Amino acid sequence: MEKLDSTSYHNFVAEGNKVVEFIAEWCIDCKRLSFSVPAWEETYSNFQFGSVDVDLDRKLAEDQDIKGVPTFLVYKDGREVGRLLSREAKNEENVQVFLHKHLD
């Protein structure tokens, strides 16, 4: 998973199929879900995965209207096509259903 910041974020999502997870170092759910990311990257290999640490780039999180972590955004050629908010994203099964819906 590529680590993103305000400099690299817009270039990352501009083209192709992307998933961006907004996380925080202190977030227990983010840490727990991080173990599933390699499997998701393999399953959905037609998408690139990136992450943004909201504590390191608060402005970017604010600009993307991120209210909590973890939050997942799906982009296709620069256009946001899916958003899984933190309250639903804390459960691995919910994330899996979300990814399957938007990435297949």
Which residue is catalytic, options 4, 30, 52, 73? Answer: 30
Which residue is catalytic, options 23, 24, 27, 54? Answer: 27
Q: Does the active-site annotation cover 78?
A: no
Residue with tokens 């998701």: 40
Mind giving me the DSSP string for 7-23?
HHHHHHHHSSEEEEEEE
Residue (of 31, 26, 75, 74) closest to 54 by Cα position: 26
Q: Does the active-site annotation cover 89?
A: no
Catalytically active residues, by annotation:
27, 30
